[in-house]
Structure 1
């Protein structure tokens, strides 16, 4: 029995794959995206923070530990409570993060256990992992939720701390191996949403038969609020959320793709 480290398990998710799902959030990520919406996921260890809370109009700080060690048995036991909901909604379990493939043995055992229980599985990944790790989990993964952020490698490294050749090569490999993939594009004003980058993403999506759907995920202010509650610095503090007109323009750029396209997942 493997043990891993997670920072949350959320039931009744409708944005992490088909149907109603349980999402298991792994801690640890190889990227450091400056817009990261889950900063508590980045370190591969529990961490103590001072969280800001409000009560009766007053703000105060409380100490909190982000992340906990948990066994595969414990995770599966919690997942099993939702099986009837999965069956009724054609849902399942999504392993997210962070980056689940930073804990490959823990992830693989969970995927195998879900397969034994005939539970649909999705792995939400940034794609930055050794190819053999993707090969090891492919037989037990029904769907990959695959992030494509920035296609120019030097720009990708500037904003995420890692180049993207591994990410693009793994996506190509999954296509060759016949995986089922949903691409997710975080739309960050002035960073990922310029025409050159979006058209480059479109060309990759168009040439990959494994990709069944494209989700465009607009930046929103929830990230800013989370950083504030966690007392963490946020580099995009002054960034404004999208207006509907701009989102319609971006959606139109992808409208000729022969697959479902959604704004917001």
Structure 2
């Protein structure tokens, strides 16, 4: 693939977040790609799950129909409904995330569209704005999602072009992609953040919608074929799913043979709850919290097995 072809390649991006220090070494810019093969019960980025653009409504920003009706006039499909009490409702059966006419018409950003087609060149133009920070901190760009490698052609083009521009690269992946995609990405990655959620395939499938067979096999191949590539295996600790000593011990034992792999556990949080409401979905874990006593106990188990290869939550 030529550099010109890579720069023109387009994909669906729903956010570009600058100045992150949690998603790879140094200061990083995170490029979030739409689409995920899993449907994790605890997902904090519900806007990332579907491949197509999605319209969201934040009622706290809406000026109300008594002051503004621009979205009604802008919607081409009649999907914006004015209710009897003057509130706004989106008819999801009619809305197809069309080229965000209603969102562009909204003066208060009460309506937003998650997902915009952008080229590699356009994305890296934003990433390069912080090039000075990457140099000083040994940071770079991280592809995230959703599952960024689901948009394989676009993600690989982004990684190749970033490396041509001497930008360090990383990916946050759930590993549920064909091995040929993971293998191709590995050639252009400086760092990998890889989710290992549970070792029991049936439990994994019940909570994420897919078995972990491909995920674990891809991880084994990645760690064995690229022994010099730094990999951070991460486990989101979810109440009632993997917050037991047995679950964490099984993951740590799986990671033990790979010296290039570090391990980090991330405590469950509810930061994405509001976005479910914006998308007219019910938050599956609304009201659920992680007991404060859980993380120290699980970290102790992981350290007992992996020693100083365990990273503590930031």
TM-score by length of 2: 0.79
Q: Secondary structure at the match of 1:233?
A: coil
Which among 56, 77, 94 is matched to residue 49 of structure 1? 56
Q: Secondary structure at the match of 1:127?
A: coil
Which among 271, 284, 296 is matched to residue 235 of structure 1? 284
8 Å CA contact retained: 2:44, 2:272: yes
Cα distance in 2, alignment partners of residues 202 and 180 from structure 1: 17
Residue 205 of structure 1: how far off its partner (Å): 1.3
Cα distance in 2, alignment partners of residues 35 and 52 from structure 1: 24
TM-score by length of 1: 0.93
Residue 73 of structure 1: how far off its partner (Å): 0.6
8 Å CA contact retained: 2:303, 2:309: no
Which structure is larger by alpha-carbon Rg, 1 or 2? 2
Residue 225 of structure 1: how far off its partner (Å): 3.3
Match of 1:76 in 2: 124
Which among 32, 35, 38 is matched to residue 28 of structure 1? 35
Q: What is the number of equivalent residue pairs in this alignment?
A: 260
Superposed, 1:87-102 pairs within 5 Å as 87-102=135-150
Q: Secondary structure at the match of 2:44?
A: coil
Cα distance in 1, alignment partners of residues 174 and 165 from structure 2: 27
> Cα deviation per residue 1:63-116 (whole Å; 9 max; x = unaligned)?
321110000010111111111010111111100000011111111111111111
- Please tell me the root mean square deviation across aligned C-alpha atoms, in Å: 1.7
Q: Secondary structure at the match of 1:201?
A: helix
8 Å CA contact retained: 1:17, 1:94: yes
Which among 255, 259, 262 is matched to residue 311 of structure 2? 262
Deviates more, 1:172-181 or 1:20-29: 172-181
Cα distance in 2, alignment partners of residues 70 and 184 from structure 1: 29
Which among 244, 249, 254 is matched to residue 199 of structure 1? 249
Superposed, 1:133-144 pairs within 5 Å as 133-144=181-192
Cα distance in 2, alignment partners of residues 152 and 131 from structure 1: 21
Q: Give the 3 Å change call, closer, same or farther, for CA 263–54 of structure 1 in structure 2.
A: farther
Match of 1:169 in 2: 217
Residue 229 of structure 1: how far off its partner (Å): 4.2
8 Å CA contact retained: 1:174, 1:210: no
8 Å CA contact retained: 2:191, 2:231: yes
Residue 50 of structure 1: how far off its partner (Å): 2.5
Cα distance in 1, alignment partners of residues 297 and 146 from structure 2: 30
